[in-house]
Amino acid sequence: MCSRFVTNIPPEVLAAIFGLREVPQLEARFNVAPTQQVAVVRSEGDHNRLDLLKWGFVPGWSKDLSFGSHLINARSETVAEKPAFRHAIKYRRCIVPTSGFYEWSHSGDKKQPYYIQLADHSPMCLAGVWEAWKAPDNSVLESFAILTTAANSLVEPLHDRMPVILHPDDYSLWLNHNMHDPQQLQPLFRPFPVAEMIAHQVPDLVNNPRFDSPACIRQV
């Protein structure tokens, strides 16, 4: 599962990784939570662009916004079969650039948060799908969900699921808007190699989604 993450990536680094035509103006965020606006990368024609979408997937056929509060993640094993996601996985894929994500261990009533990132501290780019929902007043809401897979041995003691983390070599395939065969994406859904990831305990400040500060990722 992925329900909270960090986006502390220099804008010029994002521009270089994804070939963005403009360097985005983004503030570092240390406690990104569902329902918030989040920067995601999408393909448009022959180039990529960075857009702000709401985290919480609302299918195009939904009667209202109620789906968005629940569909923050999509299971990679069934994403091509579920009515909410089967169109998006073919035609509307995106990448969610992060610095890392949080997960919690549980001991009685105590929840201990951990911050999980790549060992080399490079951007951790997550596989996502997005959708456009039209309201009765014809306004459009664009939203997304993050794909998950089975946890590797680093994450498994905390949770049995983890986000699908894309290798840089796979970015172009994931964003290729001319590739509509979900079967070709299956190899990308494997758990990320545990040797390339690290984790440490952080303060319980992150338990409050209204708190957003570098203190959230401080090792304790």
**pLDDT score of 2:** 85
Q: Are 76 and 91 in contact (CB under 8 A)?
A: no
User: Tokens at residue 166, please?
Assistant: 């894309």
This prediction's pTM: 0.96
C-alpha distances (whole Å) from 101 to each of 53, 104, 147 are 18, 10, 13
The question of whether 103 is a catalytic residue gets the answer yes
**pLDDT score of 109:** 84
Query: What DSSP designation does 165 have?
Result: B
Intervals of the chain under pLDDT 70: 67-69
pLDDT digits (tens, 9 = 90+) for 169-184: 999 999 998 999 999 9
Q: Which domains does the chain have, with CATH numbers?
A: 5-102+121-194 (3.90.1680.10)
The question of whether 2 is a catalytic residue gets the answer yes
**pLDDT score of 68:** 58
Coil, strand or helix at 14: helix
CA distance 198 to 56: 27
pLDDT digits (tens, 9 = 90+) for 23-53: 888 999 999 999 999 999 999 888 999 999 9
Selecting among 27, 44, 81, 103, the annotated active-site residue is 103
Q: Are 145 and 74 in contact (CB under 8 A)?
A: yes
Name the residue among 213, 112, 129, 216 with its Cα closest to residue 174: 129
| Exposure class string for 25-42: b at 16+ Cβ within 10 A, else e | ebeebbbbbbeeebbbbb
